[in-house]
């Protein structure tokens, strides 16, 4: 409980400072670009929300010494290893000049650093032929670097709307915490619980109002720690199937692979070029039809926040069975295939405007009354004269002097 509380409080307080004093650091930290394939906000927003999560991870390294001194050193080494991945992303958030390739290389270096400090690497895939080759150390290290860097990049890709990536990853960390409890792995449990608390501390400011963004630094950080926690859980506990993290992470992993296929094979462009046809973007554009074309800030913000729950549910279709059948490789493989088929079916239906009608949100008088409202003091609302220029403010006519 102390681990969860520390993670939440530190992250929440740091993020509160980031939001409260955005006018001081916004010149460097704010996302002021509103036009682009992946831009859905309407005002400048700080994109350094990952700082709170990073500080929570560092503080927990010290606090853990009081609760579980045995695991404090390993926990601290993991936090140190995450610095290159987080640092490269944070530098991009502040300068907007760090290329995706540079960030990917930094995350690979972070994974190699973890192998060196903690010997955390992929040692089995529960496929006899391949497992035989993973005894070869260079191959094991290379596979680990690819898996960790790929997962961190995948989390960054799905970070497109308020509350989307952070809640998806929080659910995955809760799954890891549950499995770690089943196998009595207290180091992995401490890492997972700390990250859950830290991400909920950030989530309180990110959803639904979108007052702060996770940023590349935050996305790479939580993706890196998630991947390393999964690697350590499988490596340290033979009872855990190697297919457990595959199913748990299948949503961001398949989103990335499908994106590469779509861009390279179908469109003939570089996978690094951003586009607006990721699944979460299609849901935003084609399922939130009640606000299409609206320039009203409240409607666009509400539309943004209503997109994430669709993907939370989709990711739970993988996370829940992974948590239940974490030791049964055959069942996990079946659910991996089912998820891929579900994803492709849903994507195909949305692209062809054949999505089931019950999934489409349309505005009605009843929905307008029942839908959540963002507190007025949290968003910038244009004055009435700007919203309704055809209705000029009435002015009182001057009263004439005299008996009349």
DSSP 160-186: -STTHHHHHHHHHHHHHHHHHHHTT-H
pLDDT digits (tens, 9 = 90+) for 353-362: 887 777 776 6
Residue-wise pLDDT for 301-314, tens only, equals 777 788 889 899 99
Residue whose token pair is 């609760």: 67
Contact 78, 116 (CB under 8 A): no
Closest to 100 in 3D by CA, of 112, 110, 88: 88
**What is the structure's pLDDT at 266?**
72
Handedness of CA 92, 97, 99, 104 (dihedral sign): negative
79 beta partners: none
Q: What is the pLDDT of residues 172-228, one digit of tens each?
A: 999 999 999 999 999 999 999 999 999 999 999 999 888 899 989 999 999 999 999
pTM of the model: 0.84
Q: What is the pLDDT of residue 387?
A: 41
140-175: buried (b, 16+ CB within 10 Å) or exposed (e) per residue?
bbebbbebbbbbbbbbbbbbbbbbbbbbbbbbbbeb
What sign does the dihedral 140-256-15-310 (CA atoms) show?
A: negative
Per-residue pLDDT, 388: 41
From CA 307, how far away is CA 290, in angstroms rounded? 13
Q: What is the pLDDT of residue 397?
A: 46
Please compute, for residue 200, the number of CA atoms within 13 A of its CA located in the half-sphere on the CB side.
15
Local structure of 46: helix, strand or coil? strand
- How many residues are present in the chain? 404
In the 8-state DSSP scheme, what is residue 31?
E
DSSP state of 126: S
Q: What is the pLDDT of residue 315?
A: 95
Residue numbers of the chain with a pLDDT score lower than 50: 34, 36-39, 41, 365-404
d(CA 224, CA 143): 15
Measured from the Cβ of residue 236, the count of other Cβ atoms closer than 10 Å reads 15
DSSP β-bridge partners for residue 184: none
SS3 state at 136:
coil
């Amino acid at each position: 409980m102390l681990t969860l509380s520390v993670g939440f409080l530190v992250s929440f307080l740091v993020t509160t400072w980031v939001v409260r004093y955005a006018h001081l650091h916004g010149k460097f930290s704010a996302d002021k670009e509103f036009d682009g394939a992946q831009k859905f906000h309407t005002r400048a927003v700080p994109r350094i929300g990952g700082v709170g999560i990073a500080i929570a991870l560092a503080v927990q390294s010290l606090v853990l010494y009081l609760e579980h001194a045995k695991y404090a050193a390993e926990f601290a080494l993991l936090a140190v290893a995450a610095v290159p991945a987080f640092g490269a992303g944070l530098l991009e958030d502040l300068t907007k000049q760090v290329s995706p390739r540079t960030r990917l290389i930094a995350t690979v270096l972070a994974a190699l650093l973890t192998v060196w400090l903690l010997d955390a690497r992929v040692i089995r895939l529960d496929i006899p032929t391949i497992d035989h080759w993973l005894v070869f150390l260079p191959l094991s290290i290379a596979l680990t670097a690819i898996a960790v860097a790929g997962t961190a990049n995948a989390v960054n890709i799905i970070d497109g709307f308020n509350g989307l990536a952070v809640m998806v990853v929080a659910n995955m960390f809760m799954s890891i915490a549950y499995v770690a409890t089943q196998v009595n792995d207290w180091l992995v449990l401490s890492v997972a619980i700390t990250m859950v608390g830290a991400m909920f501390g950030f989530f309180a400011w990110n959803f639904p109002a979108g007052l702060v963004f996770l940023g590349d630094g935050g996305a790479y950080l939580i993706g890196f720690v998630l991947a390393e926690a999964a690697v350590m859980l499988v490596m340290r506990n033979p009872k855990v199937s190697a297919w457990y993290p595959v199913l748990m992470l299948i949503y961001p992993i398949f989103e990335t692979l499908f994106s590469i296929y779509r861009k390279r094979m179908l469109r003939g462009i570089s996978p690094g070029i951003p586009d607006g046809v990721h699944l979460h973007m299609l849901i935003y554009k084609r399922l939130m039809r009640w606000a299409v074309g609206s320039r009203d800030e409240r409607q666009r913000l509400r539309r943004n926040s209503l997109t994430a729950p669709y993907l939370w549910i989709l990711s739970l279709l993988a996370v829940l069975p992974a948590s239940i059948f974490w030791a049964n490789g055959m069942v996990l493989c079946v659910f991996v295939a089912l998820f891929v088929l579900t994803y492709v079916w849903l994507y195909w239906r949305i692209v062809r405007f054949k999505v089931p009608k019950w999934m489409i949100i349309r505005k009605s008088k009843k929905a307008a009354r029942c839908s959540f409202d963002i507190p007025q003091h949290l968003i910038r609302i244009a004055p009435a004269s700007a919203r309704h220029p055809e209705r000029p403010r009435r002015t009182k006519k001057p009263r004439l002097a005299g008996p009349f």
